[in-house]
Amino acid sequence: MRPLPAAELHLHIEGTLEPELIFALAARNGIDLPYADIGDLRRRYEFTDLQSFLNLYYNNMAVLQTEADFTEMTRSYLGRAAAAGVRHAEIMVDPQAHTSRGVPLENCINGVAAALASSETEFGISTELIAAFLRDEPVDDALAVLESLLAMEAPIIGIGLDSAEVGHPPRDFAALYERAHEAGLKCVAHAGEEGPADYIRQALDLLQVDRVDHGIRCMDDEALVERLAAEQTPLTVCPLSNVRLRAVDTLAVHPLPRMLERGLNVSINSDDPAYFGGYLDDNVARLLETFDLSTTQLVRLAENSVRAAFISNERRRELLAEIQQWQSEHAPAAESPT
Ligand code: ADE
Ligand code: ZN
């Protein structure tokens, strides 16, 4: 079955570093990895919570040194994403995770941007770049990096907020988001992944975000669900990530079907696919194995992703037409014209 065409809106490019590429880049850059071999590394992909994943995620970034390393990582994601049905991707990068290791901001931004510049011609995927800031670092650090990005005219469409959530509320980053809005950037933030529903409210009210990354904990707060449904705030949900980071006990109890029933504007995304057992198509396949999702619901999820994307209305129309075409090919026999 041809994969469902969709936009991927919640993807950390550093979370696409596959073990094989980690070892290849380590060899190229003369970096000693603290793992015996690829199998040893893979066996460590058992996480108890967000922090246990972040520790490994940041450690593995040591292999990213040159502009070419960032380009190779990004091209490798784009190739895999194309096979997964991704037609547009808004890719987050964590600049502070590299500058704090002494890697120049230019290596990171120019390296990723070089791959994105040819994503349409090489992979048929339109792309945008989002600079995500680490919420477990001081807001002043984030502001300084944002100023550097603006000064170098980095090709970013927006900013995000990620890393360890609990104890690092959105309100601490109000000044960063004020600056980003003033600079005409789009704004997204992780909220309600492990943190409480109130962090989602803060992201909406204090950071004025255009989308919420994850947002699953809104289901703990009935009034918030009603508001998100009324305002149709996009929530970029990452089912396999939530299972692997124990934000939910199992996929079978994931709130996605209930979120759809409540009329929330949810899309499916892969977050850190190299770490969480799969890309966008794997997330869709596991959802289909687990839940009785109809073709109409799948199409709704894909349409939501395209409607929530930071793209031109022309590109939006093109992608919505592709989804309609997919639906006409996959509609159950009873629904097909005779
Ligand atoms: N950085 C990379 N993946 C993340 C996630 N799922 N939550 C918060 N920060 C992240
Ligand atoms: Zn994320």
Q: Which ligand is nearest to the CA of 236?
A: 2
Quick check: is 139 in a domain? yes
Quick check: is 331 in a domain? no
Selection from 41, 103, 107 nearest residue 73 by Cα: 107
Residues 6+ apart with CB under 8 A from 277: 240, 244
| CA of residue 287 to ligand 1 center, whole Å | 21
The DSSP H or E segment spanning 159 is strand 158-162
Residue 163 CB–ligand 1 contact under 6 Å: yes
Atom of ligand 1 nearest to the CA of 57: 2
Cβ distance 156 to 111 under 8 Å?
A: no
Q: What is the pLDDT of residue 295?
A: 95
Quick check: is 329 in a domain? no
Residues composing the chain: 338
Per-residue pLDDT of the chain (338 residues; tens, 9 = 90+): 799 999 999 999 999 999 999 999 999 999 999 999 999 999 999 999 999 999 999 999 999 999 999 999 999 999 999 999 999 999 999 999 999 999 999 999 999 999 999 999 999 999 999 999 999 999 999 999 999 999 999 999 999 999 999 999 999 999 999 999 999 999 999 999 999 999 999 999 999 999 999 999 999 999 999 999 999 999 999 999 999 999 999 999 999 999 999 999 999 999 999 999 999 999 999 999 999 999 999 999 999 999 999 999 999 999 999 999 999 998 765 444 44
Quick check: is 330 in a domain? no
Q: How far apart are CA 266 and CA 10, in angstroms?
A: 12
Atom of ligand 1 nearest to the CA of 245: 6
| CA of residue 94 to ligand 2 center, whole Å | 11
Structure tokens at 169: 């509320």
Q: What is the pLDDT of residue 332?
A: 65
Quick check: is 328 in a domain? no
Quick check: is 334 in a domain? no
Please confirm, yes or no, whether 72 is among the known catalytic residues. Answer: no
| CA of residue 11 to ligand 1 center, whole Å | 9
Residue 193 CB–ligand 1 contact under 6 Å: yes
Quick check: is 215 in a domain? yes
Atom of ligand 1 nearest to the CA of 272: 3
Q: How many domains does the chain have?
A: 1
Residue 202 CB–ligand 1 contact under 6 Å: no
Q: How far apart are CA 110 and CA 115, in angstroms?
A: 9
Residue 75 CB–ligand 1 contact under 6 Å: no
Q: Which of 193, 226, 322, 335 is catalytic?
A: 193
Quick check: is 336 in a domain? no
Structure tokens at 7: 């936009």
| CA of residue 231 to ligand 1 center, whole Å | 25
Q: Which domain holds residue 317?
A: 6-323
Tell if the pTM clears 0.95, that is, is over it: yes
CATH value at residue 231:
3.20.20.140
